[in-house]
Amino acid sequence: MSLSDYSGARQGVSEADYMPIGQLRALQLERLQGLVRHVYERVPLTRRRMDERGVRPEHIRSLEDIALLPFMMKSDLRDEYPFGLFASPQEEIVRFHCSSGTTGKPIVIGSTQGDIRVWQEGCMRALAMCGVTREDVVQVAYGYGLFTGGLGLHYGAEGLGCAVLPISGGNTERQLMLMRDFGVTVIACTPSYFLHLVDEGMKRGIDFRRDMRLRHGVFGAEPWTEAMRGKIEQLTGITAHDIYGLTEISGPGVANDCPHRRGLHVFEDHFYPEIIDPDTLEPLPDGERGELVFTTLTRRGTPMLRYRTRDLSLIHSEPCPCGRTIRTFERISARTDDMLIIRGVNLFPSQIETALLSVDAVLPHYHIFVSKAGDLDMLEIKVEVTAQTLSDDIKSLENLRARIAHAIQRVINISAKVTLAEPHSLPRSEGKLCRVTDLRNG
Ligand code: DLL
């Protein structure tokens, strides 16, 4: 099958999801070869790096040959800001998106009409995998604008024929009112913002099970654990789905989990995944954990060759009972740059989340503070509990704090100070929530 006769997704069902593996690999190779030629001819940085390695486009004869190609990283996008990595002329670019870093200039990606279609197809396939249909009313509460969440889910849902409520992030009062009045059945936002909505709803006497028609949540853009998923489902009765993506690769709709929850299916006919060892940069076989790397097989605006995401995962190649042949990767619970080193021990915020949520009385709102006392790293976890719990006698509260501290110690092997906080007292976010404050460096 060639690029030109590939039909894409109809009603979110793509033939590529179920393609025999051999045919899928042949399609990927054909696309990879086309991509490498396209980039080599148009992106000076990549051409220079390939020339330095003595690699030319015609050396890519199998999918394994992808390992001959240089990696791309966020710093390349920064260094080449704004348009140095563009591989299509300005008149073919129809959209810009940016992802802000913590400092300095943002990174910019440009999309052609074709890129936008592929992105929309990814989001349609993702939503269809969640069980969303044209009967659904979809509230898109991801931010619209330079962030890809809002527009990505918007076009995906509209492509499926859903009724879309493009409310963007924020204005919680109005979100809740419209969700109820419009009979919204699907919410798309970050999991932390959804928890905020639930929380604010409860304050106003709204019971999500009784007062809302919500069935599905399409959650992503930040790490969230299986324990958090359980908490959300238990609180609201909805099914919480995991959608993954990143600006550099297009936006949401790079991968999504199916009802079997064996990991996230990658739309690998467009986004070719690899796992590499982040230290040696060597490719790792399926089943081994490392850094997720993507090659955008069909993007033409700002294509990415072997883009290092910093997200940690592993690829499963066993068949999924849903029948899709595209591979899955394990849910992202950590990024290489999220890792905290406390008293010489490496740990990820997601480990703390899992520990906290294993204790019954704990609400899914917490914040991690890291500081120094002399030379010693100190870890403090503030976690919200219900007002009723807080009104318990001192002994019960001490007991609860000890249970939480013990759960944390068991998982991360480090002692932490636990502070019980009032409901609604810790930071909330309309978008991605930062759950860590590290006060060690100034
Ligand atoms: O967050 C795109 C997106 C929007 C994905 C809406 C899903 C839903 P960026 O702002 O470029 O793009 O951030 C990408 O967010 O490398 C991961 O570290 C993290 N991330 C995205 N989805 C998930 C997820 C959007 N489902 C970065 N689970 C990625 C865990 C996620 N982390």
pLDDT per position as a tens digit, 40-74: 999 999 999 999 999 999 999 999 999 999 999 99
CA-309 nearest atom, ligand 1: 16
- According to DSSP, residue 179 is labeled H
Overall average pLDDT of the 251-261 stretch: 97
The pLDDT of residue 164 is above 60: yes
| Distance in Å, CA 301 to ligand 1 centroid | 20
CB-CB neighbours of 52 under 10 Å: 9
What's residue 4's pLDDT?
38
- Indicate whether residue 99 lines ligand 1 (CB < 6 A): yes
| Distance in Å, CA 391 to ligand 1 centroid | 38
The pLDDT confidence band at residue 442, using thresholds 50, 70 and 90, is: low
Q: Which residue has the least CA distance to atom 14 on ligand 1?
A: 246
Could you check whether the bond before residue 106 is cis, i.e. omega within 30 degrees of 0? no
Mutate to test the pocket of ligand 1, among 155, 332, 430 (most ligand atoms within 8 A of CB): 332
User: Of all helices (H) and strands (E), which one includes residue 242?
Assistant: strand 239-246
Residues with Cβ within 8 Å of residue 399, at least 6 apart in sequence: none
| Distance in Å, CA 309 to ligand 1 centroid | 10
pLDDT tens, residue by residue, 321-334:
999 999 999 999 88
- Indicate whether residue 335 lines ligand 1 (CB < 6 A): yes
336: left (phi over 0), alpha (psi -120 to 50) or beta: alpha
Q: Decide if 47 contacts 36 (C-beta within 8 A).
A: no
The pLDDT of residue 7 is above 80: no
Mutate to test the pocket of ligand 1, among 194, 250, 311 (most ligand atoms within 8 A of CB): 311
| Distance in Å, CA 389 to ligand 1 centroid | 34
The pLDDT of residue 143 is above 90: yes
Q: What is the pTM of this model?
A: 0.95
| Distance in Å, CA 246 to ligand 1 centroid | 5
Q: Decide if 104 contacts 94 (C-beta within 8 A).
A: no
Total residue count of the chain as it appears in this document: 442
- Indicate whether residue 244 lines ligand 1 (CB < 6 A): yes
| Distance in Å, CA 194 to ligand 1 centroid | 15
CA-142 nearest atom, ligand 1: 6
The pLDDT of residue 401 is above 90: yes
Residues with Cβ within 8 Å of residue 250, at least 6 apart in sequence: 109, 111, 115, 118, 119, 122, 148, 152, 271, 296, 299
Percentage of the chain lying above the pLDDT 90 cut: 93
Q: Which residue has the least CA distance to atom 29 on ligand 1?
A: 246
- Indicate whether residue 251 lines ligand 1 (CB < 6 A): yes
- Indicate whether residue 217 lines ligand 1 (CB < 6 A): no
User: DSSP per residue over 193-218, as a string?
Assistant: HHHHHHHHHHHTT--HHHH----EEE
CA-242 nearest atom, ligand 1: 26
Beta-strand pair 417-421/376-385: parallel
Mutate to test the pocket of ligand 1, among 154, 225, 246 (most ligand atoms within 8 A of CB): 246
What's residue 10's pLDDT?
61
Q: State the Cα–Cα distance between residues 136 and 160, nearest whole angstrom.
A: 9
Q: State the Cα–Cα distance between residues 424 and 55, nearest whole angstrom.
A: 56
The pLDDT confidence band at residue 2, using thresholds 50, 70 and 90, is: very low
| Distance in Å, CA 230 to ligand 1 centroid | 20
What's residue 3's pLDDT?
38
CA-248 nearest atom, ligand 1: 11
pLDDT tens, residue by residue, 402-426:
999 999 999 999 999 999 999 999 9
The pLDDT confidence band at residue 5, using thresholds 50, 70 and 90, is: very low
What's residue 369's pLDDT?
96
Determine the 3-state secondary structure of 417 from DSSP.
strand
- Indicate whether residue 332 lines ligand 1 (CB < 6 A): yes
CA-147 nearest atom, ligand 1: 10
Q: Which residue has the least CA distance to atom 4 on ligand 1?
A: 149
Determine the 3-state secondary structure of 408 from DSSP.
helix
pLDDT tens, residue by residue, 194-209:
999 999 999 999 999 9
- Indicate whether residue 188 lines ligand 1 (CB < 6 A): no
Overall average pLDDT of the 331-349 stretch: 92
What's residue 6's pLDDT?
41
Overall average pLDDT of the 315-344 stretch: 94
The pLDDT of residue 283 is above 70: yes
The pLDDT confidence band at residue 317, using thresholds 50, 70 and 90, is: confident
| Distance in Å, CA 307 to ligand 1 centroid | 14
Q: State the Cα–Cα distance between residues 320 and 322, nearest whole angstrom.
A: 5
User: Mean pLDDT score of the chain, rounded to an integer?
Assistant: 95
What's residue 1's pLDDT?
37
Q: State the Cα–Cα distance between residues 162 and 224, nearest whole angstrom.
A: 26
Q: State the Cα–Cα distance between residues 295 and 405, nearest whole angstrom.
A: 42
The pLDDT of residue 9 is above 60: no
- Indicate whether residue 223 lines ligand 1 (CB < 6 A): yes
Q: State the Cα–Cα distance between residues 26 and 20, nearest whole angstrom.
A: 10
Q: State the Cα–Cα distance between residues 145 and 259, nearest whole angstrom.
A: 30
Phi and psi at 372, nearest 5°, equal -125, 135
Report the chain's terminal Cα–Cα distance, integer Å: 57
